[in-house]
Amino acid sequence: MMRHLAFALGVFFACAVFSKAATPKTGPANALHVSAVLPETLAPGVTAGRLFIYFAPTAQSEPRFQSNTSLFGLDAHGVKASQRLHVPLTTAGAPEQTLRDLAPGDYYVQAVFNVLTEFHRADGHVIWAHMDQWEGQNFARSPGNLFSTTQKIHIGPEAPTSIILPLENIIPPIDVPADTAWVQRIKFQSPLLSKFWGHPMYLGATILLPKDYDQHPDVHYPVVYIQNHFSIAAPFGFNPVIKSDVTGGSGGPAGQVDKGAGFSAAWQSADFPRMILVTFQHPTPYFDDSYGVNSPNCGPYGDAILQELMPALEARFRMIKAEYARVLTGSSTGGWGSLALQLYYPEVFGGAWAFSPDPVDFRLYYGGVNIYADENAFIEKTTPGLEGGATMNRRSSQRAAVLGTQEGRFEWWKHTSVGPDGYPLPVWNLKTGKIDRAVVEAMRANNFDLREYLSRQWPQIGSKLVGKLHVYAAAVDSFYSNFAVRLLDEFMQATQNPHDAGSFQYGPPSSRHGWQPMTNVELLREIDRHIAARAPASAKPAAWHY
């Protein structure tokens, strides 16, 4: 979840190449000279990118795929074939502040050149960002990006260390699985998003069909829309080879429910509820998904999903085109997105099951910061349970600066105001932690504080949400968002005209981010009961329970 944002901080914008910083006379890393070399032939249109240098302590995998690395990055514009890109010792890093601070020792080193695209947006801004290649904004594996072969090096006081990293490899296209009788996919250019970005933009979905779908051509089905981080995998990890497992699936940390247990077998069984599962794909140049809503920086993704993606799905697959039969679920980012779609479009969707959602109340934002009242996100809280939040904010902000201005994937701030340079304005200063109150107020005005939005809109939308909100939070969430869920819970407990407390459930002390109290099999059975109870008599739920 810790991503980065699009705004300038400690990076170089105007240089055609990286300039080499003066080398101080002390410290082992001060004798370090790092550069990457572009290939003799560049793909058409490649004129800018962000260069990342990874220093990994082990060779367990390529450094670009390891999490425990020292990472450094900066921009390059006006690049040319065969050009050498020098990396100054002042280059921003994480966890080190700069390349100069890298400790002596043995490392495995690799470079990745993340290709940037120029977008001439409809709002008049021209920005540089990475165009997603259907990999979910993962520059370490994004098709068309360049990378070097890993080298083992030693940094020490004995002698100067010179590292030259030829960017001689190119990441191949994503291999999208072929459609089957169970799993099918769609992808198309979105007119709404392409107009906003001034560049072809795409929406897609992966669809899991129910048992014997083709044998019942007259039956239409309820649909469960799933939102999580970008994936083209089958919903809930469905695997048709698993036909009799009663466990299996994707597990989690100790104390967490094995959500995938028995899912593939249950889906193919004779007595499982018949419905269609759909995983949305809506990556943006700023993150691996848009959260599914309209926003100043990402554009009209909510409109595109409702006006383009869902109609395309309903035209191709036999889905019931009614509110009671469209429900939402997701975890983390997808938890927030599913809840937001339900609140923003209460007449379109019939219920949301949101797990570990991103902060739903900005009085307890990331790291437990009250961005309405606190002055600084880097000051530790004394409230029990919020200890360490400021440290998390400081570290994630440092990494955001490394990942870059043009890369712009820091999802926490993707829905802020658009800055004068066209990139998202930060909620707080990356170096100092000072909170920008004007940015916060703009986020509130744009309805991204879901609890605050509900408090203003309850008289208008409350009656349309009764019985639809199901929210789950771990006892200890990695990003402290469980505290915000409790504030939303308190609001719902106090609602009037109508009163609806919603459904809130909290995990045991051992539970962590992503916790849910039931398997996906149990979740879908619960959703099926919810849909059947709300279906009008004319809908004949028995039709899809064959």
pLDDT digits (tens, 9 = 90+) for 154-209: 998 776 789 999 999 999 999 999 999 999 999 999 999 999 999 999 999 999 99
> Residue 109, SS3?
strand
Alpha-carbon distance 477 to 358, whole Å?
10
First-to-last C-alpha distance (Å) of the chain: 41
How large is the average pLDDT for residues 107-132? 96
How large is the average pLDDT for residues 257-262? 90
Do 322 and 429 lie in one domain? The reply is no
DSSP summary character for residue 306:
I
Q: Give me the phi and psi of 27, to 5 degrees please.
A: 90, 140
More confident residue, 9 or 337: 337
Do 488 and 427 lie in one domain? The reply is no
Do 137 and 279 lie in one domain? The reply is no
pLDDT at 27: 53
Query: Quick check: is 10 in a domain?
Result: no
- Continuous segment of H or E residues that includes residue 208: strand 202-208
Query: Quick check: is 60 in a domain?
Result: yes
How large is the average pLDDT for residues 304-333? 97
In order of 197, 212, 334, 422, the CA distances from 292 in angstroms are: 16, 31, 9, 21
Query: Quick check: is 15 in a domain?
Result: no
Do 236 and 147 lie in one domain? The reply is no
Which are the contacts of 285, defined by CB distance < 8 A and separation ≥ 6? 117, 119, 127, 129, 130, 131, 132, 137, 197, 408
Amino acid in position 57: P
Residue 316 — left, alpha, or beta (φ > 0 → left; ψ -120 to 50 → alpha)? alpha
Q: What is the CATH number of the domain that holds 302?
A: 3.40.50.1820
pLDDT in tens, 441-486: 999 999 999 999 999 999 999 999 999 999 999 998 988 999 999 9
**Number of domains observed in the structure of the chain:** 3
pLDDT at 124: 97
> Residue 39, SS3?
coil
pLDDT band at 412 (very low <50, low <70, confident <90, very high): low
Alpha-carbon distance 287 to 413, whole Å?
10
Query: Quick check: is 325 in a domain?
Result: yes
Do 156 and 300 lie in one domain? The reply is no
Do 376 and 255 lie in one domain? The reply is no
Query: Quick check: is 461 in a domain?
Result: yes
Alpha-carbon distance 350 to 461, whole Å?
13
| CB 506 within 8 Å of CB 473 | yes
pLDDT at 410: 58
Do 201 and 273 lie in one domain? The reply is yes
Query: Quick check: is 363 in a domain?
Result: no
pLDDT in tens, 204-248: 999 999 999 999 999 999 999 999 999 999 999 999 998 875 444
Query: Quick check: is 178 in a domain?
Result: no
Q: Is the pLDDT of residue 271 over 80?
A: yes
> Residue 28, SS3?
helix
Do 141 and 289 lie in one domain? The reply is no
Is the preceding omega at residue 283 within 30 degrees of 0, hence cis? no
Do 483 and 540 lie in one domain? The reply is yes
CA atoms within a 13 Å half-sphere pointing along the CA-CB vector of 139: 30
pLDDT band at 104 (very low <50, low <70, confident <90, very high): very high
Q: Is the dihedral of CA 80, 404, 101, 103 positive or negative?
A: negative
Find the range with the poorest average confidence among 208-212, 368-372, 382-386. Answer: 382-386
| CB 194 within 8 Å of CB 202 | no
Among 105, 138, 170, identify where a domain stops: 170
Q: Is the pLDDT of residue 317 over 50?
A: yes
Domain extent, residue 416, equals 368-444
| CB 370 within 8 Å of CB 363 | yes
pTM above 0.75, yes or no: yes
Q: Is the pLDDT of residue 393 over 60?
A: yes
pLDDT at 159: 67
Do 405 and 465 lie in one domain? The reply is no
pLDDT at 415: 81
DSSP for 111-166, written as a single string: EEEEE-EEEE-TTS-EEEEPPP-SS-S-TTS-TT-EEPPPEEEEE-SSS-EEEEEE
pLDDT in tens, 20-56: 333 333 456 677 999 999 999 999 999 999 999 999 9
Q: Is the pLDDT of residue 492 over 60?
A: yes
Query: Quick check: is 203 in a domain?
Result: yes
Among 397, 429, 444, identify where a domain stops: 444
Give ∠ CA 133-125-439 in degrees, rounded to 5: 95
pLDDT at 158: 74
DSSP summary character for residue 167:
-
| CB 117 within 8 Å of CB 49 | no
Mean pLDDT taken over the chain: 90
Amino acid in position 139: F
Percent of the chain with pLDDT over 90: 82
* Pair of tokens at residue 172: 């191949």
How large is the average pLDDT for residues 378-386? 93
pLDDT band at 141 (very low <50, low <70, confident <90, very high): very high
Do 166 and 200 lie in one domain? The reply is no
Among 147, 170, 193, identify where a domain stops: 170
Do 37 and 122 lie in one domain? The reply is yes
Q: Is the pLDDT of residue 10 over 70?
A: no
128-167 as b/e: b if 16+ CB within 10 A: bbbbbbbbbbbbbbbebbbbbebeeeebeeeeebebebbb
Tally of residues, the chain: 546
Alpha-carbon distance 182 to 61, whole Å?
34
